Amino acid sequence: MSFTKSVVLSCAGIGSRLGLGQTKALININGKTLIRLQLELLKDVEDLRIVVGYQAHDIVEEVLKYRTDVVFVYNHNYFETKTGTSYYLGAKDANDYVIEWDGDLLVHPDSIKRILTQEGEFICYADRTSEEAVFVRTDEMGNVLSFSRASGSYEWTGPACLKRSRVHYTSENVYNQLEPYLPIRGLKIEAYDIDTYEDYKNVIRRIQEWKI
């Protein structure tokens, strides 16, 4: 697969809501670390940038067991900033279009193929599965119109893609980075976010059917 966009995989956070005492990138998913699964699923991405912060040394060590051509980017202010900052840092010097990909998200392989072949800017969303969802409201064409903590048509999961020149600094979440540019073309995918322990158990059950 020919793929010219950059992917920024955000793995800097502490993962406190999950309650397992370690960064989400290193949690065990059916015998593999989450970051290892991400690397396997994103094997066709040439320019992969992994943003690290909390337990950075351990994440780098784990990644290098499986892939040595990634770019590591450090978010040293991970205690005070959110995923929007990691996206901004990872997008520096990237290709013209940059896909943000949360490190606590597992996307079905079929959906990954669709994401990696999309042209231009887009926002992915899915049916609601997680306990603490951020929702998106869409129009009849599937374009994303707004984000909400209260209600919406679907769950905002990411990934999302912007032109590099439109990725600006924010200390908030990625969806706050995207809001000034709405509406943006939407892409419905199958994906599962891991924020809480219930989300974690749900993902383990669901991906057993993926055969990855």
Q: If you search the block for the tokens 């351990």, which residue do you land on?
A: 58
CATH of the domain at 92: 3.90.550.10
Q: What is the dihedral of CA 157, 163, 165, 169, to 10 degrees?
A: 0
- Percent helix, strand, coil in the chain, to 5, is 30, 30, 45
In the chain, which stretches have pLDDT less than 50? 1-2
Give the count of domains, the chain.
Answer: 1
User: Residue 14: what pLDDT?
Assistant: 84
User: Residue 129: what pLDDT?
Assistant: 85
Domain that holds residue 13: 5-210
Q: How do residues 90-108 score in pLDDT, each as one tens digit?
A: 999 999 999 999 999 999 9
How long is the chain? 212
How many degrees, rounded to 5, is the angle at CA 196 between CA 186 and CA 155? 15
Q: The whole model's pTM is what?
A: 0.93
